[in-house]
Amino acid sequence: MPVVNEHSERMRKFKNKGKDVAALRRQRAEVNVELRKARKDEQILKRRSISFSLMDESLSLGEEKRNEIVQLSLEEIVEAVNGSNTELQLQATQATRRMLSRQKDPPINQIIELGIIPRLVEFLTHADNAPLQFEAAWALTNIASGTSDHTKAVVEGGAIPAFISLLSSRHMYISEQSVWALGNIAGDGPLYRDALINGNVIPPLLALVSPVTPVGFLRNITWTLSNLCRNKNPYPPLDAVKKMLPVLICLMEHEDKDIISDSCWAVSYLTDGSNDRIQIVVDTGILPRLVELMASPELIVMTPALRAIGNVVTGTDEQTQAAIDAGVLAVLPCLLQHAKPTIQKEAAWTLSNIAAGPCQQIQQLITCGLLPPLVELLDKGDFKAQKEAVWAVANFTTGGTVEQVVELVQSGVLKPLLNLLLAKDSKTILVILDTISNLFLAAEKLGETERLCLLVEELDGLEKIEALQTHDNNMVYRAALSIIEKYFSGEENPDLQPGTGQDGLYDFSVEKQDFNF
C-alpha cells in the first residue's frame, strides 16, 4: 500500500485541500510536553524509534570529550596550581573552573578542601597571564556563589582587594568577571557588602559604566550595584549610596529590561529605610520615571518599580506628595486589579499608605478615581490584598473629612467591608470594626446615625457584628459589643420606613448628594 498515494487519496476527500493551510489554522490545545512521570524514565531507555545503543554511544562520546580536558585528578590539580609551571597552572585552573561551572552539583566543598583558594586569588594578580586571571576569577566567582561559608572561604583567601584591583584590568572579560565575583561577595550580606565599599569598590565599578559598555556587561554591573544597595542591619553607608544613585538613575533609562529591572530593585532597596534615605532618592527626581515603569507590561520591571514607590509613600507626607505629583494615582487602579495577587497586594498596600495621609491627599485619591477599584478589590480581590484594602479604608475614615467619608460610603465600600467580617483573621476584623466606629462617628456629626444603622442592617452587617460578640478574640468581642451597645440597642424608630431608594438610602451613586448616605 503506497504511502504517498494513500495520503493524497485521503487529501482528495477533503474540501479544503486547495486552501492555504495557514488560513485554516486555529488555536489547538497543547499536548503535554512531558510524559507522565511514571513512564518518563522508561521512555528514555525504551523509545520505539531510537535504539538504546545509539543513544548510549552519543552519551559516552560527550563524556569522553570532556574527560580529555579534565584528565586531571584533584591531586594533580593541587600539584599544578601550587607549582610554577604556568601552562599547568592554567590547565589546572581551567579544569577547576569547568568542574565548578557544570550544570548540576558543582563540587564546591571539595575544591575548597583542596586549600587552593589563596593560590587562585594569587593568580588574580598575574597581570602577564590574562587567561589565568580569567579562569581563576571565574572559578572563584562560582565558589562565592554558594553558601555563606563558601563565600567566606573566598573572602578569607584575600579575594576582595584582588578583585577590586581587577576592575581596572585592560581586558574587559576579566573586569566583567570581577564585577560578577564582587556581586556574589556583596550579596552575601551587609558585612561583606560594607567590606567591599570600604575597600573602595565603588569608584572603579562606576567607571565601567559608559555609553559603549556592552549590554551583557552592563547587566552584570547593575546587578552588582543592586547588591551593594541591598540588605539592612546595617543599611549601606549613606555616602556610598549617594555615589551610586546617579549611575543607577542613568541605568534606569536604559532600554534593556534586565538593566532597568535590577536598577529598580536597587532603588527599592534604597527606599526601604528611614525617611532620610527615602529623601535622598526623592531628591534625584527619579519618581516620575519609577511611576512610568510601574505602568510597564513587563512584570520584571513593574514589580520593583511598584515596590520602590510603595516604599516612598511610607515616608513623610511631602514624600508621598512627591509620588502623587509623579502620577502614581493614575497607574494604581490597574495594578489594584492585576492578575497577580502579589501585585494586587502591593498596590493596595501603597494605596493604604497614601490614604494615611492628610485629607488633601485623600481628596486626590477620590479625584483620581481610586475608590471604585478599591471597592472592587475589597469585594473580589485576593485575600492578602483585601487585608491591605481594609487598611486603606480604615486610614481613609481616620484621616478623611466627613464629606470624604460620605463619598467613601457612597462608593459602595460598606458591603464588601462587612463581608470581610467573616474572615478568619482577627487583626483584619478589628480594623474593620474600628472603621465602622469611625463611620458612625462621621454619621453622628451629620445626625444620620439611624440611616447608617439601617444600611448596615440591610447589608447583613448587623448579624455579622452580633456574631462577633462570641468571637474567641477578646478584643474583637469587645469592639463588636461596643458598636452594638452604642448604635444598635435602641428601639426601632417606627417613623423610619426602610426606604425604597428615597434619600439615597440604598443608593450608592457617586454623585454628591447633600451629606446623605
Partner 1 sequence: LLFLQRVLLLVASDVDALCACKILQALFQCDHVQYTLVPVSGWQELETAFLEHKDQFKYFVLINCGANVDLLEILQPEEDTFFFVCDSHRPINVVNVYSDTQIKLLVKQDDDLDVPAYDDIFRDEEDEEEDSENESDGSEPSEKRRRFEEDVIERTMKRRQRREWEARRREILFDYEQYEYHGTSSAMVMFDLAWIMSKDLNDMLWWAIVGLTDQWVQDKITQMKYVTDIGILQRHVSRHNHRNEDEENSLSIDCMRIAFEYDLRLALYQHWSLYESLCNTSYTSASLKLWSVQGQKRLQEFLADMGLPLKQVKQKFNSMDVSLKENLREMIEESANKFGMKDLRVQTFSIHFGFKNKFSASDIVYATASLMENIEKEGPETTNFIKALDSLSRGNLDKLHQGLDLAKKQLRAIQQTVASCICTNLVISQGPFLYCSLMEGTPDVKLFSKPVSLCLLSKYLLKSFVCSVSKSK
Residues that bind partner 1 (CB under 8 A): 1, 3, 5-6, 9-10, 13-16, 24-25, 28, 31-36, 38-40, 42-44, 46-50, 98, 100-103, 106, 138, 141-142, 144-146, 151, 177, 180, 183-184, 187-188, 216, 223, 226-227, 230, 258, 261-262, 265, 299-300, 302-304, 340, 342-343
In the complex, minimum distance from the CB of residue 187 to partner 1, in angstroms, rounded to a whole number: 4
In the complex, minimum distance from the CB of residue 39 to partner 1, in angstroms, rounded to a whole number: 6
Nearest to partner 1 of 252, 480 (CB atom): 252
In the complex, minimum distance from the CB of residue 189 to partner 1, in angstroms, rounded to a whole number: 8
Burial class of residue 356 (count of CB atoms within 10 Å of its CB; 0-12, 13-18, 19+): buried
In the complex, minimum distance from the CB of residue 11 to partner 1, in angstroms, rounded to a whole number: 8
Nearest to partner 1 of 212, 339 (CB atom): 339
CA pair distance 160, 185, nearest whole angstrom: 8
In the complex, minimum distance from the CB of residue 155 to partner 1, in angstroms, rounded to a whole number: 13
Q: Under a CB-based contact definition with an 8 Å cutoff, are residues 53 and 45 in contact?
A: no
Q: What residues have CB less than 8 Å from 282, skipping those under 6 apart?
A: 312, 315, 319, 322
CA pair distance 134, 120, nearest whole angstrom: 10
In the complex, minimum distance from the CB of residue 48 to partner 1, in angstroms, rounded to a whole number: 7
Nearest to partner 1 of 152, 471 (CB atom): 152
CA pair distance 199, 202, nearest whole angstrom: 9
Q: Which three cell numbers stand for residue 199?
A: 575597600
CA pair distance 9, 3, nearest whole angstrom: 10
Q: What residues have CB less than 8 Å from 339, skipping those under 6 apart?
A: none
Unique residue bearing C-alpha cell 424608630: 493
State whether residue 371 is helix, strand or coil: helix
Nearest to partner 1 of 139, 456 (CB atom): 139
Check residue 31 and report its DSSP letter: P
In the complex, minimum distance from the CB of residue 468 to partner 1, in angstroms, rounded to a whole number: 37
CA pair distance 72, 89, nearest whole angstrom: 12
Q: Under a CB-based contact definition with an 8 Å cutoff, are residues 106 and 150 in contact?
A: no
Nearest to partner 1 of 272, 448 (CB atom): 272
Nearest to partner 1 of 195, 484 (CB atom): 195
Nearest to partner 1 of 6, 503 (CB atom): 6
CA pair distance 251, 208, nearest whole angstrom: 12
